Amino acid sequence: MTITKVGMIGAGSMGGGMSLLLAENGISVSIQDPSTSTVDSLIQSAKGQNITSGTLSKHTEYKTLCDSLSSPKVIFFSLPHGTVGDTVVEGCGVSGGYQAARRGPSMCPGGQEKALEIVLPLLEKMSAKAGDGTPCVARIGEGGAGHYVKMIHNGIEHGMMSAISEAWTFMNKHLGMGYDEIGKVFEKWSAESELKNTFLVKIGADICEQKDKSGNHVLADVQDKVVQDIDGSEGTGIWSNTQATSLHVPAPTLSTAHYLRIVSAYRGHRQHVNEAFHDSFKPPKLR
């Protein structure tokens, strides 16, 4: 069965990006969003990108959106999680953020095998591809297994990023190593150690060595993005830690990483403490 038209409920950064990606692949997309201006902007964006392979159509009512689709109807829900209700769609974890939603995400659907047989060819068409061309899509299991795996994936990713940050801090603050020197260490780890081909380590090296037009390291000018006492991190880190605790699974790296993400939101507090103690929290040099 070839799917030529789908519905997309939610036209934000993820839903909008996937709509453009589907249209580029020749799929007609019927779109509905609580904000009609969001849909209008998406359609204008498609025109600006000369996307003509598929079509994007705006719907203000669910009925007209459903009527525009042939059976079996394939509808993507790209909305914030709501309250528990009837399970209509089991869920599909989408990895890579809004950039991947536009260019091709990794996807981990969960649900009934019969339903997935219908949509897997479409997901494989729009997904990211491995180096050998294999679609980055796999049926994870029954029910909401796809979203569950994506949640734990994010928790592990938080732990890895925190460990890399800790290694960077140790090399820079304690050993006095420069950005290029640290970048070379990360490159070596990514090339030949147990961390070989680790994406986060590789981009860590790139970030350390990146320079602007004047030859200055970009990293030296990067300020803490969080300038208010808020924690705008996504919920997957919280849920991963909650699951680990409730299932009695020891995951100290995940929990430590999450608390560090929270404390990073309190930039003002950190500055106040640092000033109160007269900058005495500077890490000691080890060489």
The per-residue pLDDT string of the chain (287 residues; one tens digit each, 9 = 90 and over) reads: 788 899 999 888 888 888 998 888 888 999 999 888 889 999 888 888 888 766 888 998 889 999 999 888 888 888 776 565 443 445 778 887 777 777 888 888 888 777 788 888 888 888 889 889 999 998 888 878 888 998 999 999 999 999 999 999 999 989 999 999 999 999 999 998 888 989 899 999 999 999 989 888 888 877 554 455 455 566 888 999 999 999 999 999 999 999 888 887 777 888 888 889 887 777 777 76
Q: Which of 47, 125, 142, 150 is catalytic?
A: 150
Residue 150 falls in the annotated catalytic set:
yes
Residues 6+ apart with CB under 8 A from 146: 90, 91, 92, 93, 107, 108, 109, 110, 111, 140
Query: What is the rounded CA–CA span in Å between residue 32 and residue 162?
Result: 38
Of the candidates 92, 96, 80, the residue with the CA atom closest to the CA atom of residue 119: 92
Residue labelled with tokens 């925190």:
162
Q: Where in the chain is the domain with CATH 1.10.1040.10?
A: 148-276
Q: Where are the beta strands (DSSP E) in the chain?
A: 5-9, 28-32, 56-58, 75-77, 92-95, 106-109
Superfamily of domain 148-276: N-(1-d-carboxylethyl)-l-norvaline Dehydrogenase; domain 2 (1.10.1040.10)
Q: Is the CB of residue 220 less than 8 Å from the CB of residue 207? A: no
117, 157, 213, 234: the catalytic one is: 157
Residue type, 15: G
3 in Cβ contact with 122 (< 8 Å) = yes
The reply to whether the predicted model has a pTM over 0.85 is no
To the question of domain 5-143 being in CATH 3.40.50.720, the answer is yes
Task: Locate 190 and state its tokens.
Answer: 């990514």
Residues 6+ apart with CB under 8 A from 43: 56, 58
157 is known as an active-site residue: yes
Residue 32 CA to residue 36 CA, distance in Å, equals: 8
CA distance 36 to 11: 9
Q: Where in the chain is the domain with CATH 3.40.50.720?
A: 5-143
